[in-house]
């Protein structure tokens, strides 16, 4: 009797979107640490787009540690809106009068800039001290792709921070009904009246369709759909995106690390009695070492057949018996 012995060398892991609950604020604003008084105003100074050579005494690391997140502004009696929460650290210097924080939407090419200025007398007294700046008054849209820059005023060459950022597109919660083979998906952190697509897919280089996608209506109060599946494979993912052109897609792959789901991959071994061949094709990306072995009736031990080993990440074709 012939069987296939399979050993997993590596399972390729897929990324999950970090879908955390978005913090809420009542008002947006600017704040600075170290007791420094600062204020902001919209910036339209085109001359600050051109940089100057920095003084020899000015370190290129006076600006550092820019971090971006999303907050939800929910003022009483008004609809909620999403804003960027931008934090940065500046070492005060007599050559720096302030900061300019800019955001550019890579979807629409629209930009907006804000000038942050410090009280001159106090900032000179604290020369060399680090001050943390937080600004969260740049309004953004769900799933928007943003390019954020932070630079000094005056604008010194090579003294600049920049970062790309994706605004959250939603949060998935799911429940599995194994008896009916249904995954119920709930979407939260969902704003506006935009419709939302949800589907199941198998994650290879791209996420390949597994059945039809479902639509969550933005105007409906119930943000939930039920999706049918055939097998709970490690590469089975839930994917969602807004019904707008080039919307960013978020994915959740809840089964990728489960040993139980990995065992299902070996169900695709097929024996063809007419050609006396065996074949196995993985349903998910996986690198394996496959070899034939002969099952001994005397001790139920499967002895490897010499020269039958093969490393593969795709279909193992027609292994001759």
Q: pLDDT band for position 196 (50/70/90)?
A: confident
**Lowest mean pLDDT segment, chosen from 14-28, 58-72, 198-212:** 14-28
Predicted local confidence at residue 148, as pLDDT: 96
Alpha-carbon distance of 117 to 36, in angstroms, equals 10
Predicted local confidence at residue 296, as pLDDT: 81
Q: What is the mean pLDDT of the chain?
A: 79
174: pLDDT strictly greater than 80: yes
**Lowest mean pLDDT segment, chosen from 35-39, 170-174, 260-264:** 260-264
The domain ranges of the chain are: 24-167, 172-252, 263-320
Note the pLDDT tens digit of each residue in 5-43. Answer: 433 232 222 233 333 467 888 899 999 986 788 899 888
Topology alike, domains 24-167 and 172-252: yes
Alpha-carbon distance of 239 to 251, in angstroms, equals 4
Alpha-carbon distance of 265 to 274, in angstroms, equals 24
Alpha-carbon distance of 248 to 51, in angstroms, equals 33
Q: What is the DSSP string of 112-161?
A: EEEEEEE-HHHHHHTTT-EEEEEEEEEEE-TT-EEEEEEEEES-BTT-EE
Q: pLDDT band for position 221 (50/70/90)?
A: low
Rounded to 5 degrees, what angle do the CA atoms 320, 290, 254 make?
Answer: 130
Homologous superfamily of 24-167: Interleukin-17 receptor A/B, fibronectin-III-like domain 1 (2.60.40.2160)
Predicted local confidence at residue 3, as pLDDT: 42
Out of 3.30.1890, 2.60.40, 2.102.10, 2.40.128, the CATH code matching 172-252 is 2.60.40
Full-prediction pTM beyond 0.75?
Answer: no
Predicted local confidence at residue 48, as pLDDT: 65
304: pLDDT strictly greater than 70: yes
- Tokens coding 95: 């050559």
């Amino acid at each position: 009797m012939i069987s296939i012995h399979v050993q997993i060398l590596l399972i390729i892991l897929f990324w999950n979107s970090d879908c955390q609950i978005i913090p809420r604020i009542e008002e947006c604003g600017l704040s600075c640490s170290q007791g420094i008084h600062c204020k902001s105003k919209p910036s339209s100074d085109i001359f600050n787009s051109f940089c100057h050579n920095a003084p020899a005494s000015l370190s290129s690391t006076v600006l550092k540690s820019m971090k971006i997140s999303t907050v939800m502004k929910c003022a009483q009696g008004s609809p909620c809106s999403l804003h960027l929460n931008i934090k940065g650290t500046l070492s005060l210097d007599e050559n720096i009068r302030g900061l300019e924080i800019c955001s550019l939407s890579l979807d629409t090419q629209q930009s907006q800039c804000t000038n942050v200025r410090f009280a001159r007398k106090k900032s000179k007294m604290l020369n060399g001290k680090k001050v943390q700046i937080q600004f969260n008054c740049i309004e953004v849209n769900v799933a928007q792709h943003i390019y954020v820059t932070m630079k000094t005023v005056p604008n010194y060459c090579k003294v600049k921070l920049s970062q790309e950022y994706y605004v959250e597109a939603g949060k998935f919660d799911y429940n599995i009904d194994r008896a009916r083979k249904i995954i119920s998906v709930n979407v939260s952190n969902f704003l506006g009246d935009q419709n939302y697509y949800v589907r199941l897919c198998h994650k290879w280089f791209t996420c390949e369709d597994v059945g039809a996608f479902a639509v969550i209506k933005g105007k409906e109060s119930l943000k939930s759909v039920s999706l049918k599946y055939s097998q709970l494979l490690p590469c089975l993912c839930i994917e969602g995106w807004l019904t707008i052109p080039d919307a960013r897609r978020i994915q959740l792959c809840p089964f990728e690390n489960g040993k139980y789901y990995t065992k299902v991959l070996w169900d695709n071994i097929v024996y063809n009695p007419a050609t006396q061949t065996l074949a196995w094709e993985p349903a998910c990306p996986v690198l394996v070492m496959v070899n034939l072995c002969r099952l001994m009736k005397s001790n139920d031990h499967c002895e490897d057949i010499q020269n039958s080993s093969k490393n593969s990440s795709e279909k193992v074709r027609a292994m001759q018996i």
